[in-house]
Homo-oligomer: A and B are copies of this chain.
Amino acid sequence: MFSSRLLRRSFIASAKRYNSSIAGLDASKVKVTKSDILKPLVANKDLVFGHTFTDHMISADWNEKEGWMAPEIKPYGSLALAPSAVVFHYASECFEGLKAYKDKKGNVRLFRPDMNMARMNRSTARIALPQFDGKELIKLIGDYIKLDERWIPSERGYSLYLRPTMIGTQEALGVNPPSNAKLFVIGCPVGPYYKTGFAAVKLKATTEFVRAWPRGTGDAKIGGNYAPGLLPQRLAAKEGYQQNLWLFGDEHQLTEVGTMNLFVLWKNESNELELVTPPLDGSILPGVTRDSILSLAKQWGEFKVSERKLTMPQLKEAVKSGRVQEMFGAGTACIVSPIKAIEYLGEELAIPLDPSNPESQAGPYTKRFNDAIMDIQYGDVESPWSVVV
């Protein structure tokens, strides 16, 4: 595959910088400075996604001569960076999103954190930021969330959203791989994405903007993939659509929904029940929730499961002939987000939710995927995906 070959080359390039004389990220060297003043907790009902932060954060600096300095867990606070720092100019930045959950026994759990670590190292490689040992960052996250444990809600549907981030901090305006970088992790308690159960969204299938393309960066979780989506999102919102459905190419292939992966459950051209999601061709973000849904669906064995190309004309025909059963977006923030309509070239296509319950905002399989994943995340169902820290 094209992208894996190149990433291998870039890993080698990174590894060469990682020679024996420079230090790897080492959780055992962590320096912990506790905050003198602890902030008041925010009631679960008052939480707004991404607005409330815990008392502490993880921070670790890197430079190309010495490697990773001893990491710190320290009071949550501002970063002081020179205005020439490359992160402000060339989007030298990438991130991850994962959640910590409290189970009924009071254990703190992470959901497939190894996948986030691996993806983050692919993201850093793609923009010439340094590699790090993901196991060490998971240890640091464990230390951090135990220190800030009072911020992890115990009510089902609530969790502590974690945001590992790496930025280039070199103080120079030349366009070059940064000689200095900072890794940090912040955490915010969050509730269910939709306060009153599911709220199905309407999408605008966007033909005027393109999110990603072959041999670009659509499969990396880098900052630069996000800012360009804000204007299309604002224009869609003005027309009453909550998210963009990103298309690609002259055939209008479906790719992603806003910042989520996309799933279609339909009766396919051969009248088989099939769950389809676009393939990881280098322009699709390889979502952890996406992978989990594919795995669960294959375990269930109740319908065909396919990673394959699907175009808007194909989807439109299927909607019109009543073959589409459910559609949803999938991502860490919401798990699944049911879709009830898609505007495409001036026409609004109605996507079914739950035919047995006109009040419902999600189809039966959409709900089932959501519940199955939550059962694992909260430790109600044992699974190697859920890691007690």
Which chain B residue shows the least CB distance to A259?
Answer: B175
Count residues of A near B (Cβ-Cβ below 8 Å): 71
Whole-angstrom distance between the Cβ of A252 and the nearest chain B Cβ = 12
A45 interface contact, C-beta 8 A: no
A194 at the interface (CB under 8 A from B): no
Q: How far is the CA of A144 from the CA of B90 in the complex (A)?
A: 24
* Residues on B with beta carbons closer than 8 Å to the beta carbon of A51: 171-174
Contact yes or no, B226 A175, CB < 8 A: yes
Is A93 within 8 A of B95, CB to CB?
A: no
What residues of chain B lie closer than 8 Å to A118, measured between beta carbons?
none
| Residue pair A87, B88 in contact (C-beta under 8 Å) | yes
Smallest CB gap from A165: residue in B: B88
Q: Does A217 interact with chain B (Cβ within 8 Å)?
A: yes
A231 with B125: in contact, given A83-B79, A95-B89 (CB under 8 Å)?
yes
Task: Choose one: B127, B226, B231; the contact of A89 (CB below 8 Å).
Answer: B226
Given contacts A210-B214, A234-B128, contact A186 B83 (CB under 8 A): yes
Chain B: CB-nearest residue to A188: B173
Is residue A303 within 8 Å, beta carbon to beta carbon, of the partner chain?
A: no
Q: Considering the chains assembled together, what is the distance between the CA atoms of A90 and B223 in angstroms? A: 4
Whether a CB of chain B sits under 8 angstroms from the CB of A35 is: no
- Which residues on the B side are within 8 Å of A128 (C-beta)? 227, 230-231, 234
- Between A81, A82, A90, the greatest number of chain B beta carbons within 10 A of the residue's beta carbon is seen for A90
A57 (CB) vs chain B CBs: closest residue = B83
CA distance A126 to B233 in the complex (A): 11
Neighbouring B residues of A84 by C-beta, 8 Å: 50, 53, 163, 186, 188
